[in-house]
Structure 1
Amino acid sequence: MPGELKGVVPAGYEAPQLRSRESGQTYDLQRTRGQVASDHGDAVEVWEYMAQTPVRKDGGVGWLLVEVSTPNPALPADPCALARGFWNMGGPCQVYDVRGLRVGVVLSNPSGRDQLDKWATYRAQDGSTVTIAQDDAYRGSGHPALGGPVFTERELAELATDPRFRVSG
């Protein structure tokens, strides 16, 4: 999945392997993770996979994140309810139609936590989900922020439906 995420970085940007510059905290900014997201004993075992990468342009650094899950019947079908539930961050949401597919896009993060400005969440017909998120700053990294967002809300919605990010149960 990291290769797929780096593969959507638009021209003019790069997705290099960077390390944090914060004193006392040195870590790679490009990371991946896979985990079982359901509780033991749930009727369906749900897996989540996440990849994140720094994105650099003109010396500024932001970040992109993708989180995908196998089908989870416990998640809401409503695109905005699903998007607002991402990391429980909430926020104002708009539904975008992408080739007949409905995608919830949270337009800003009112909680101010978890370092993400905007994200788009799509639930496929089989119940699997894809969330693509971005921030024009990689807070805590010690790198200066980008001059603005990498993607528009529409572009985030389109990426959330991209088959490169799908997993099956």
Structure 2
Amino acid sequence: MDENELRAALRDTITLHPEPPPMESKTAIAAARRAATRRNLLAGIGSAAAILGITLAVIPGQAQPGGGTNMQVAGEPSAAAGVPFPTETPSWADTTPSGGEKTEPSWPPENSGDATADTGPHYQNGKKLLTAVVAAVPDGYTAKTGNTTDGIPFRSHQSTIENDGSYWRNMAAVAIGRDDRVGELLVEVAEPGNNLPKDPCALAEEFWGRGGNCTPVNSKVGVIHEGSGTAWAAYRHSDGTVVYVMQSTSPTYADPASNGLKPLPALPLSDTELAALATDASFR
């Protein structure tokens, strides 16, 4: 591939992935921080970065001494308004018809330029899930309201259409406080039609691609601990709905250095309590 072909390929990539709609900076910051915990997205991002890196290295005038470039990197990525979770173009959004003509991805009417719903029934499903998560905050803890000192919301939700377009995923998170300490309770729900594993432990290991050593609870729920500060449970309902419940001693998006947030001394729920919460019908 010569220099001109590389340039043409880069232009096609930019054309096929339109810029998402603008959003408030505080929501963008939350998206970036939470994205750091979703390691299953890194493979796709890494591939795109590799292609871009090769292009910049070959195109004259782009490379700078010391490995830098003339490109200006934005401080945080953008996403759909009001939602703090990362999104990506699904494989089912066909961008190359049989005739060879390039077209933009086709998104559902609820979405504005990406995989995230910002109106309609699926957006409302995300809001309902947040209400259910707030109601499930353990006794002795409070569901925090407002924002961190740098403007990041303590409560958030999102609904996205997944991989092949066959199902939706809803997520909601709330910061939970006790005394002057702050942790988090997060719930992710994959609607029926998903291709997630049926075995409880295999299902738990699939959460955000994090893996881990699973302990089955009541033979129906898989529970995994990641160090002493994070644990999650996975459960599949009979209709195929999958529920993940994650608890953390600190919010996944928070930067303690910026916010001065102190983590909880311990996880608020036992494995049995966490497993029971994953089977709660209010999250369906």
Q: Same fold (TM over 0.5)?
A: yes
Which has more helix, going by share of residues?
Answer: 2
What is residue 140 of structure 1 aligned with on the other side? 255
Which has more strand, going by share of residues?
Answer: 1
Write the mapping of 1:58-97 to structure 2, written as runs, cut at 5 A. Answer: 58-97=179-218
User: Residues 37, 158 of structure 1: CA spacing in aligned structure 2 closer, same or farther, 3 A cutoff?
Assistant: same
Q: Which amino acid aligns with 2:162?
A: A
Q: Note the residue ranges of structure 2 that are not aligned, 5 or more in a row.
A: 1-128
8 Å Cα contact 2:167-2:194 kept in structure 1: no
Q: Determine helix, strand or coil for the equivalent of 1:85.
A: helix
* Residue 109 of structure 1: how far off its partner (Å): 5.3
8 Å Cα contact 2:217-2:275 kept in structure 1: yes
Structure 1 residue aligned with 2:224, among 94, 101, 106? 106
What is residue 178 of structure 2 aligned with on the other side? 57
Correspondence 1:20 to 2:135: no
Identity between Structure 1 and Structure 2 (%):
34
What is residue 161 of structure 2 aligned with on the other side? 36
1:134-167 deviation per Cα after TM superposition (whole angstroms, max 9, x unaligned): 101124252111121111111110000010011x
TM-score by length of structure 1 reads 0.83
User: Residues 73, 10 of structure 1: CA spacing in aligned structure 2 closer, same or farther, 3 A cutoff?
Assistant: closer
* Residue 73 of structure 1: how far off its partner (Å): 4.6
User: Residues 126, 93 of structure 1: CA spacing in aligned structure 2 closer, same or farther, 3 A cutoff?
Assistant: same
1:42-95 deviation per Cα after TM superposition (whole angstroms, max 9, x unaligned): xxx110000000000011000000000111352111111111110001111111
TM-score by length of structure 2 reads 0.50
Q: Note the residue ranges of structure 1 that are not aligned, 5 or more in a row.
A: 111-115
Q: Determine helix, strand or coil for the equivalent of 2:263.
A: coil
